[in-house]
Amino acid sequence: MQFSNILTLITLAGGLSLAILPSAWAQSMGTKSAQSDDTILEMNRAFKKGDRKRLTALLPQVRNHALEPWGAYWELRARLDTAAPSEIQDFLARYAGTYQEDRLRNDWLVLLGERRDWAQFAAELPRYRMNDDREVRCYALTLEPLSAGVDPATEVKRLWYAQKDADNGCAYAAAQLFGAKKLSAADIWRKARLAMEANRISAAKAAADIISPEAGAHIEEISSNPARFLSKRVIAAGRVARESVVLALVRLAATDTELAASVMENHWSVHLSAEQRSWVWGAIGKHAAQRQLNDVMAYFSKTKDADLNDDHLGWKVRAALRQGQWKMVLTAIKAMSPDARQDAAWVYWRARALLMLTQTEGERTEATALLASIAGVRGFYEQLALEELGIPITTPERPAPLTAEEKEAARQNPGLARSLYAIAVGLRSDGVREWNYSTNLHQSGGMSDRELLAAADLACQHEVWDRCINTSEKTRTVIDFETRFPMPHKDAVIQRANQIGLDPAYVYGLIRQESRFIMDARSGVGASGLMQVMPPTARWTAKKIGLTNFQPHHILDRDTNIAIGTGYLKLVLDDFAGSMPMAAAAYNAGPSRPRSWRGQTGAPLLEAAIWAENVPFSETRDYVKKVLSNTTNYAALISGQPQSLKSRLGMVGPRDTSAMEPNRELP
**Rounded mean pLDDT of 385-400?**
97
The pLDDT, as a whole number, for residue 233 is 76
10/418 Cα distance (integer angstroms): 10
Q: Average model confidence (pLDDT) for the chain? A: 92
Q: What does R_g of the chain's alpha carbons equal in angstroms? A: 27
Same domain (yes/no): 110, 197: no
Q: What is the pLDDT of residues 487-525, one digit of tens each?
A: 999 999 999 999 999 999 999 999 999 999 999 888 888
Mutual angle of helices 465-472 and 449-461, in 10-degree steps:
170
The helix or strand, by DSSP H or E, that contains position 197, with its residue range, turns out to be: helix 185-197
Indicate whether 422 belongs to any domain. no
Assigned domain for 319 exists: no
549-560 pLDDT, tens digit each = 999 999 999 999
Domain limit, last residue, from 134, 161, 195: 134
- Confidence (pLDDT) at 663: 62
Query: For 559-573, how does the pLDDT look when each residue is reduced to its tens digit (9 = 90+)?
Result: 999 999 999 999 999
pLDDT for residue 11? 40
Instruction: Give the per-residue pLDDT at 444.
Output: 53
Helices (H) and strands (E) in the chain, counts: 41, 2
CA angle 418, 422, 424 (to 5 degrees): 115
Supply the pLDDT for residue 415.
97
Give yes or no for residue 13 having a pLDDT over 70: no
pLDDT of residue 18 exceeding 50, the answer is no
Which residue would you say has higher pLDDT here, 446 or 306?
306
Sequence-distant (6+) residues with CB within 8 A of 128 are 102, 105, 106, 109, 136
Write the pLDDT tens digit of every residue in 281-325.
999 999 999 999 999 999 999 999 999 999 999 999 999 999 999
Q: Does residue 130 sit in the same domain as residue 188?
A: no
- The pLDDT value recorded for residue 236 is 66
Domain identity same for 122 and 261: no
Task: Show the DSSP H helices in 6-133 as ranges.
Answer: 6-12, 23-26, 31-49, 52-58, 68-78, 85-94, 99-115, 118-124
Do residues 557 and 622 share a domain?
yes
Contact 489, 438 (CB under 8 A): no
Q: Point out the domain boundary residue: 308, 341, 368.
A: 308
Is the torsion defined by CA of 37, 42, 45, 47 positive or negative? Answer: negative
Mean pLDDT of 190-216: 96
CATH number where 519 lies: 1.10.530.10
Strand partners, 651: 607
Model confidence pLDDT, tens digit, residues 207-220 = 999 999 999 999 99
Cβ atoms of 215 and 188 closer than 8 Å: no
Q: What is the pLDDT of residue 12?
A: 40
- Is the pLDDT confidence value at 83 over 50? yes
The answer to whether residues 81 and 217 belong to one domain is no
pLDDT of 485 higher than 80: yes
496/588 same-domain check: yes
At residue 63, the pLDDT reads 94
pLDDT band at 451 (very low <50, low <70, confident <90, very high): very high
DSSP code, position 607: E
Cα–Cα distance measured from residue 477 to residue 485, given in angstroms and rounded to the nearest whole number? 17
Is residue 35 in a domain? yes
DSSP string, 347-407: HHHHHHHHHHH--SHHHHHHHHHHHHHH-SSSSHHHHHHHHHTT--B-PPPPPPPPPHHHH
The proportion of the chain whose per-residue pLDDT surpasses 90, expressed as a percent, equals 85
User: Quick one: average pLDDT of 59-72?
Assistant: 96
Higher pLDDT, 361 or 506: 506
CA distance 579 to 586: 11
**Res 445: pLDDT:** 61
Owning domain of residue 73: 3-134
Query: Is residue 217 located within the same domain as residue 300?
Result: yes
Spatial distance between the Cα atoms of 489 and 559, rounded to a whole number of angstroms? 9
What pLDDT is stored for residue 17 in this prediction? 38
The whole-number pLDDT of residue 587 equals: 98
Cα separation, 607 vs 507, whole angstroms = 23
Q: Residue 431 in 3-state DSSP?
A: helix
Q: Which residue from 402, 576, 414, 411 is spatially nearest to 482, judged by alpha carbons?
A: 402
User: For residue 533, what are the β-bridge partners?
Assistant: 528
Residue 10, pLDDT score: 42
Of 291, 308, 325, the one marking the end of a domain is 308
Bridge partners of 652, per DSSP, are 606
Is residue 238 in a domain? yes
Same domain, residue pair 516 and 647: yes
Label residue 380 by pLDDT band (50, 70, 90): very high
If asked whether residues 188 and 130 sit together in one domain, one would say no
How far out from the chain centre does Cα 54 lie? Answer: 35
pLDDT single digits (tens) 230-259 = 998 767 678 999 999 999 999 999 999 999
> Hey, what amino acid is at 633?
N
Answer whether residue 10 is part of any domain: yes
Q: Give the pLDDT band (50/70/90) at residue 276.
A: very high
- In this prediction, residue 150 carries a pLDDT of 85
Taking every pair of Cα atoms in the chain, the longest distance, rounded to a whole number of angstroms, is 78
Residue 89 falls inside a structural domain:
yes
End-to-end CA distance of the chain: 32
Q: Is 18 part of a structural domain of the chain?
A: yes
What's the rounded mean pLDDT across residues 165-172? 92
329-335 own/partner pairs: CB under 8 Å, 24+ apart: 329/353, 330/354, 330/357, 331/305, 332/305, 335/305, 335/306, 335/308
Q: How far is CA 153 from CA 156, 157, 177, 390, 619, in A?
A: 5, 6, 7, 46, 32
Tell me what pLDDT residue 332 has.
98
Contact 308, 279 (CB under 8 A): yes
Instruction: Check: CB of residue 174 under 8 Å from CB of residue 191.
Output: yes
Together in a domain, 630 and 509: yes
Residues 6+ apart with CB under 8 A from 602: 654
Confidence of residue 1 (pLDDT cuts 50, 70, 90): very low
For residues 65 and 41, what is the distance between their CA atoms, to the nearest angstrom? 12
The pLDDT assigned to 363 comes to 84
Judge whether residue 20 has pLDDT over 90: no
Q: Judge whether 489 and 511 are in contact, CB under 8 Å.
A: no
Torsion, Cα of 206, 212, 217, 218 (10° steps): -90
Quick one: average pLDDT of 345-355? 97
Residues 112-133 have a mean pLDDT of 95
User: Is 514 tagged catalytic?
Assistant: yes
Please report whether residue 546 resides in a domain.
yes
Q: For residue 362, what pLDDT is reported?
A: 87
**What are 562-620's pLDDT values in tens digits?**
999 999 999 999 999 999 999 999 999 999 999 999 877 677 889 999 999 999 999 99
- Choose, from 382, 387, 451, 514, the residue flagged as catalytic: 514
> Is 197 within 8 Å of 254 (Cβ atoms)?
yes
Same domain membership, residue 639 and residue 529: yes
Identify the three-state secondary structure at position 536.
helix
> What is the count of structural domains for the chain?
3
Q: Over 90: is that where the pLDDT of 145 sits?
A: no
Q: What is the mean pLDDT of residues 35-56?
A: 96
Q: Are 581 and 624 in contact (CB under 8 A)?
A: yes
Nearest alpha-carbon partner for 170 in 189, 151, 146, 153: 153
Residues 129 and 237 in one domain: no
pTM, 2 dp: 0.93
